[in-house]
Amino acid sequence: MDFTDIFSTALTQALGPNAIVYALAAIGLNIHFGYTGLLNFGQAGFMAVGAYGLAVTVVVAGLPFGVGLVMAFAAPLLLAVLLGFPTLRLRADYLAIATIATAEILRLVFGSVEMKDYFGGSNGLTGYSSVYKDLNPYSEGIDWGIVRYSRDDLWSVTVGWVLVALGCLIVFALMRSPWGRVLRSIREDEDAVRSLGKNVFAYKMQALILGGMFGGLAGLFLALKQSSVVPSDYSTNITFYAYTALLLGGAARVLGPVVGAIIFWFLLSGLGSFFGQATSGVDPLIPSWIMDDTQSSLVRFIITGLALMLLMIYRPQGIFGDRREIAIDGR
C-alpha cells in the first residue's frame, strides 16, 4: 500500500480539471438551489448544451472557434429561458421533475442515431479544440511529487481556476447586493416577496439563466479539457454528484461549491486508488472473493450515495456551514 501515491493521486484530482468542472457546475446550482431555492435537477442538460453549442458550431457548421464560444454561452441562456417560462411557476418538486426530464431528453437526442449527422451519435464530436490547445503557453507539464499535471492538464487547470475565481467574484458581488437579498427571500417564501412588489418570476428567471450559464460554462470547460463531447458525459448522475459537492461545501455560501468540489474529488479519487491498490497485486489486501478489481472502483460511489444522505440529514449546512442560515431545513 503506497499512501503517498494515494494522497498525490487524490490531491492531483482535487485540484485538477475534473474538480473544476464540478466547481463550475456547483456554482450554478448554488445560485439555483442555495440562494434561490430552485430545484434544478437538470444541470447536466445545461452542461450538455454548453458543450454541444461549441462543438456543433465548430465541427458541424464549420464556423470559427470564437463563434463556437458565443454559441456555448447562448445555448444555455436559451435553454434557461425556454425551460423557465413553463416551469418557474411550478411547485419545487415539479420543477425538479421537469428539469431532470429536460436534461434526459437532451442527452437522448444528442446520442441518437437519427441525429448522428448533427450531434455525432453516441460517439459524440471531436476536433474543435485546436484553437484552445494552441493557446497553451506551457512547454511541458509539471511533476512536483504531490501533484502532477500533463502539459494539457496544466493549461486547463490554469484556465479553469481563473474561471472559478471569476465565478466566485460574480456570485459574491451579486449576493451581497439587494438583488441577492431578493433571491434569498424568494427561497424563504416567494408569496411574501410578491406581496412586497417584487416581480418574483423575473428574479427566478434571472437566477435560472445565471446558474444555467455557469452550468454551460462547466460543460464548455469539460469539452475543451478533454477535446471531445460525448452524450454519456452529461448523464443525470453528474447533476447528483454536483449536488453532493455543493452540499459538502455548504449551500448558499460563495466558496461552498468550490470547497465542496475539491473535497468531493479528493475523496472520490483517494477512495478509488485506495481500494484499487487494496485489491490489486498477487496477494491483495482485500481478498478477491470480497472485492475484485471492478468492484473496487464502485465502493466510492456507494460511499458518495451514503455521504449525500448523511449530509442532508445531519449537516445540511455543509461541513463548514452555519446552521442558522441554510438553504433548506434539515429538521
> Looking only at residues 256 through 295 of this chain, which bind other proteins when binding is defined by CB under 8 A?
268, 272, 276, 293-295
Region binding other proteins by CB under 8 A among candidate stretches 70-78, 109-117, 130-138, 213-221: 109-117
**Residue matched to cell numbers 469539452:** 223
Can you tell me which of 63, 97, 131, 147 binds other proteins, judged by CB under 8 A?
97
Cα gap 49→34, rounded to integer Å: 23
Tell me the backbone φ, ψ of residue 149, rounded to 5 degrees: -135, 140
Can you tell me which of 28, 50, 53, 111 binds other proteins, judged by CB under 8 A?
111
Can you tell me which of 87, 129, 156, 317 binds other proteins, judged by CB under 8 A?
87
**Residue matched to cell numbers 428567471:** 205
Region binding other proteins by CB under 8 A among candidate stretches 52-60, 151-159, 160-168, 296-304: 296-304
Cβ-Cβ contacts under 8 Å for 207 (sequence gap 6 or more): 31, 32, 35, 36, 38, 183
For other proteins (CB under 8 A), the number of binding residues is 102
Minimum CB distance to other proteins, residue 145 (Å)? 23
Cα gap 293→269, rounded to integer Å: 15
- 3-state percent helix, strand, coil for the chain, nearest multiple of 5: 70, 0, 25
Region binding other proteins by CB under 8 A among candidate stretches 65-73, 84-92, 128-136, 160-168: 84-92
Length of the chain measured in residues: 331
**Residue matched to cell numbers 474538480:** 19
Minimum CB distance to other proteins, residue 3 (Å)? 19
Look at the alpha carbons of 277, 281, 286, 289 in this order and tell me if their dihedral is positive or negative.
positive
8 Å CB contact between 251 and 34: yes
Can you tell me which of 23, 238, 245, 271 binds other proteins, judged by CB under 8 A?
238
Can you tell me which of 61, 64, 66, 122 binds other proteins, judged by CB under 8 A?
122
Q: Which is nearer to other proteins, 63 or 198 (CB)?
A: 198
Burial profile 32-53: b = 16 or more Cβ within 10 angstroms, e = fewer: bbbbbbbbbbbbbbbbbbbbbb
Can you tell me which of 61, 146, 162, 306 binds other proteins, judged by CB under 8 A?
306
Span 24-83, contacts to other proteins by CB under 8 A? 39
Can you tell me which of 222, 242, 245, 267 binds other proteins, judged by CB under 8 A?
222
* Binding flag, residue 5, other proteins (CB under 8 A): no
8 Å CB contact between 252 and 326: yes
Give the cell for residue 192. 411574501
* Binding flag, residue 231, other proteins (CB under 8 A): yes
Cα gap 182→323, rounded to integer Å: 21
Give the cell for residue 314. 445531519
* Binding flag, residue 2, other proteins (CB under 8 A): no
Minimum CB distance to other proteins, residue 166 (Å)? 12
Region binding other proteins by CB under 8 A among candidate stretches 59-67, 138-146, 156-164, 223-231: 223-231
Q: Which is nearer to other proteins, 148 or 315 (CB)?
A: 315
**Cβ atoms within 10 Å of 273's Cβ, excluding its own:** 22
Picking from 331, 322, 314, the residue whose alpha carbon sits closest to that of residue 34 is 322
Minimum CB distance to other proteins, residue 64 (Å)? 26
Span 141-200, contacts to other proteins by CB under 8 A? 170, 173-174, 176-182, 184-185, 187-189, 191-200
* Binding flag, residue 323, other proteins (CB under 8 A): no
Cα gap 212→22, rounded to integer Å: 13
* Binding flag, residue 253, other proteins (CB under 8 A): no
Q: Which is nearer to other proteins, 64 or 276 (CB)?
A: 276
